[in-house]
Structure 1
């Protein structure tokens, strides 16, 4: 059997040795052997490994053959049905999901999907096992056959306002691709619930019998939220439910940062410097500072043909040129040798100190300004 050598989520290596090694374990949780199969049926070895990076605990073996299918025994529990009715009703009310399109990823035979529909959502399901899909459709449920295994996977009724993965996520051999595919089928600000068996509780109670080939991953609250966050979801809540046997994470579709204000601030700074420089004769203004910030500002403010030279106290920079804009970098003494009418100081936390040096050691008539975070200040 092929063994996985690195984390399926973050890509880091496992610790050199498995944290547990169990022999003669059941080869699956489903499809139990009948009498005729006993002579050839054998157990397997399970190696449980821990990622050195994200610390996610996982099997290093291949998934079971039916990993795409949802097979639920919990559906036969009256207590679980009551629990789900309350959970979904409260969730739909809190996030205004009644009448909204929601989807359960891995809906099995529609055990939970039918409850979601009863609770007022426009409920859809995705299920791989064809027999389960047919049973859902016969119940009047809206289910399509499929399995999300890549980021470009398209769901027919997308986008959805919410999604659910209920005790199925731990079966995914490639959770990153699945989560990316789900993310790309959601509406902006969509909400979701992801539930998995509670490895925090398993650790607390030393439940050594909880390891099975069907479950590739064993999530704690920390490793579950890390996995979801790495794939673009913001964590709203993560808690233990159902007698602490389940971790339930409520998530929101994350949005990339909006840094358009950076462009606006850049324009403001450029305009202020242009107005300042325009007061003096052509190329009679210098800049003090050849830090990476100053070099970026010179370039982004398009100062290459407006500045005579750049002053810097660091000897290793003197005699060189600014990158991209090609303005000569000179020693401070150049202010005496080749005087300028004005100087813009771009020295960050050292700017006030540089301004004092200019006033004390160079032409007292030189016009001095400091580029602050908020803009240009004449001093």
Structure 2
């Protein structure tokens, strides 16, 4: 009988990862950034087939990945060997030669946003304003470019546009504990949380109409909650919070009139659906402990990138009967049953606050009586 040695630590270091993904408007293609070939490139699945084909050979990780709203091309951002100077390229759906769209050496570009007709690319850049950043719009048809927002006081990032593209959402990042959200309507700049001297943050926001915005903020609270701002009445309303949970991500589906909210509670993430018509709030099962990205398509389908203690990054698709894994990344050569699901335990901070942590208790056959204590950094 052949006997095999126990898994070596090197096998864990060879685990593949997924950095980002996007889904085409017709949901016939899914593109994702992965190191499947040993280096990061874009790969695509022509759904429902899940065997991937390689689209790029740039050997760089991706920062910013979106489809044209008409499904004609892909916009992707790449830096060079981790220098964080991301440039944007156009990529055919079948892959191959990439075309430089936004490319200027030594500049950092982020948050690509395509107009509904796919003819204009909005983005935030360090060019001309390396300290506070500016936002630009590039016409993909004429090649003309205009400045749409000049950053002042703090690094400024364009976030979203109203359905009629007349109002822009942007945020100013003063610090990790102080991020303010604004709406730019013409020359008017509207702060979307009530004026205060107390620092607070806004984590995400979406338009549900030309005048109504839903946002996630911890204004006047310890944890981030769901709120709304009406541009017609200038009214801020706190809508929903959950005890000891902070909402982190917000998605809107117009056709089904519902919001999807990701929250973090201690060491695990949770996923919720909020029906705006019925004012109903329900928790959905999540296929993983940590949710990295959620995409809600026009048809209402959900695609999710996440990871767990015993399973690396994978992409999942939600059907009526539950989640289906579109990728099958595992720790090479290690059965999932050999890995340990951690216990969630709590400890008291210096001020008495109970903090959650993970305790990985070794299987009996591997237990040497020692414990590795790995403290995590603070906010």
Q: Shorter-normalised TM-score: what interval?
A: under 0.3
TM-score computed with the length of structure 1 as normaliser: 0.23
Highest RCO, 1 vs 2 (Cα 8 Å, sep ≥ 6): 1
Bigger radius of gyration = 1
